[in-house]
A and B are shown apart, each in its own frame.
Chain A
Amino acid sequence: MIGRSLRRSLGDLPVAWLQLKRQPIRYLVAVTGIGFAALLMFMQLGFQSGLLTSATTFYQALITDLVVISPGTRDSGAFQQFPQSQLYQSLGVPGVSDVIPVYVANVNAQQMGGIKPTSLRLIGFDPNQQILDLAPVREQIDRIRTPGYVLFDAAGNSNTGPVAAAVKDQGSQTMILSDYSKTFRVVGLFRLGSTFAADSNLISSDTTALQLAYKQINEGEISMGLIRVTDPAAITSVQRHLRALYGSQLQVFTKPELIANEQNYWNTSSSFGIIFGFGTIMGLLVGGVIVYQVLYTDVSDHLHEYATLKALGFRNRFLLILVLQEASILAVSSFVPALVASAALYAFLTAVSGIQIVMTTDKTLLVFSLTIGVCAVAAAIALNKLRDADPASVF
């Protein structure tokens, strides 16, 4: 309906495209500028989603119904410990079938003989329990029963050096804490991905975790507690009972709540979310200014022609649609190369950083909508100039 109306207004002659095509350098500059702005938006949104994905990958992989953490824990990069005994209190709540203490700490380590230390998130738990929905961890869980043996995250970033490759090619590798106090042996690999706080992850038994992260965690003080319920339908009521039990001493989340809480922290409380959000807006503004400049100059340059067209009997609507069509052509022809370039950059950054930055339909549609939107707004502002096209000025 709208398409037919547009066609009737402008006829079949693609005047907007012909006008843009007539000045290829200006068109190319405009497409490059708007495309760069779209690329900027893609990058900011990519970083933002990468941050949120990396921050919650660990939580996503947890096999649990409820999670208990200290109120002092703001995000998954810095856990506050709380007494393990508090977790076991929950076993008295009807519907709770099982509780699993988990230690999470950050350690710096390097390969034996290596120079550059890498920051690692160490996740320790009882190897008699399966807490992560990761096939390689399930299959290799017995290997970490031996104290000092760990599994290494091969999806970490490039700062981790050749550890994963060496384990894959030559078998287990020895690493040493960067304060040279303890060594440990990497006996298998899994894939989880790095975070903004850690280059990679280690999975160990609770015993090994207490040995390696002795400066941060103590026996009897855990980072998080996983709680499983007998009836999945009763999760909410068990959570209610646990909240009543713990009051302000501990936070009790369902798994989706824990993920949402983490994302909310990074999006609103941390400076990262604000910076990336601001970057997206900056990209939007840059794109808008470029489109406005291009269209304003274009309308100014064609003002005499537009006045002539008005004199010949064309209505204002024809010219309005013409300018909006130019804006749309600029938006679409800038967006496509920006999308391709962004997808390539995402792949490159994922490979280098270990943070999963993925081109999704959501992101594509969002940036496309923003690009079209900002072009339309810029066109609407530039349309004011059309008022200067006075048909009486042609004589």
Chain B
Amino acid sequence: MQPVVAENLRHAYGEGPLRSEILHGISFSVNPGEITLLVGPSGSGKSTLLTLVGALRSVQEGSLQVLGSEVRRSSERSRVEIRRRIGFIFQSHNLVASLTSLQNVALVLQLSEPDPRRRLHRATALLEAVGLGHRLDYFPSELSGGQRQRVAIARALAPEPDLVLADEPTASLDSSSGQEVVALLGDLCRKRGSSVLLVTHDLRLLDDADRIWAIEDGRVEPWKGSH
């Protein structure tokens, strides 16, 4: 089963004369276990597409199947269920400032693991896997940008998602940290067979991808560029 299948997906903001269509009939898919890159400049509709694939808003027109569930006409409740099967990585990591690295990861595990001890054990193992075993009790403000993004990766992988959505995960990192973070994400996802849809305009990441889509002016097509 393909984790993401979009067919003729359209999305617009505003109404009446102020209506502005951002996505113009997009069709694309993400294959199981692959790392798929979606590249495009700012304002191309990347973020809107990501919010739709992430079941963060309802689909207006077209069809979007995420992890086997149709997002169009889905209820908020069913979209929450879809989201719980997705790992999210954000551009600015979006960690909870008042929680330590361990607590940030353990918090998400509350949704899937009822036993608090197992949650802590799993959160610790994940943070060790991303090389932060020595920073378990550090708050986000005490970590470097790269370390925060590693915590975010551990948090995204904590619920053992079938799909990971990553939005410009290298945007706030220097080039070496950025490549390290993406390589780490790729390794961990390949090991457990998770699919990754990574949105970026960082062309240095193209080597890490199994498939690349380009998005421009609200339209998606296979990447034809060279690097």
**B90 near A395 (CB under 8 angstroms)?**
yes
Bound Cα distance from A21 to B139, whole angstroms:
13
A162: interface (CB < 8 Å): no
**B107 near A304 (CB under 8 angstroms)?**
no
**A311 near B107 (CB under 8 angstroms)?**
no
Q: Take A305-B97, A392-B57 as given contacts and tell me if A311 and B83 are in contact as well, using a CB distance cutoff of 8 Å.
A: yes
**B56 near A395 (CB under 8 angstroms)?**
yes
Distance between B62 CB and nearest chain A CB, rounded to angstroms: 17
Question: Which of B103, B110, B139 counts the most chain A CB atoms within 10 A?
Answer: B110
Q: Take A22-B97, A311-B83 as given contacts and tell me if A395 and B167 are in contact as well, using a CB distance cutoff of 8 Å.
A: yes
Select one of A11, A13, A18, A395 contacting B51, CB under 8 A. A395
Distance between B97 CB and nearest chain A CB, rounded to angstroms: 7
B111: interface (CB < 8 Å): yes
Total A residues in contact with B, Cβ cutoff 8 Å: 22
B42: interface (CB < 8 Å): no
Bound Cα distance from A198 to B119, whole angstroms:
68
Range class of the B interface residue count? 20 to 34
Cβ of B159: which chain A residues have Cβ within 8 Å of it?
A: 313
Cβ of A312: which chain B residues have Cβ within 8 Å of it?
A: 83-84, 88, 108, 111, 155
- Interface hits, A292-313 → B, CB 8 Å: 304-305, 308-309, 311-313
**B94 near A305 (CB under 8 angstroms)?**
yes
Bound Cα distance from A394 to B97, whole angstroms:
15
Give the nearest-CB partner of B199 in chain A.
A395
Q: Take A312-B83, A391-B56, A395-B56 as given contacts and tell me if A21 and B167 are in contact as well, using a CB distance cutoff of 8 Å.
A: no
Q: Footprint of A on B, CB under 8 Å?
A: 47, 50-51, 54, 56-57, 80-81, 83-84, 88, 90-91, 94, 96-99, 103, 106-108, 110-111, 116, 119, 139, 155, 159, 167
Q: List 5 A-B pairs, minimum CB-CB distance, nearest first.
A: A11-B110, A313-B84, A22-B98, A308-B94, A12-B116
Q: Footprint of B on A, CB under 8 Å?
A: 10-13, 15, 18-19, 21-22, 304-305, 308-309, 311-315, 391-392, 394-395
List 5 A–B pairs whose Cβ atoms lie within 8 Å, in order of A's numbering. Answer: A13-B99, A305-B97, A313-B81, A313-B84, A395-B47
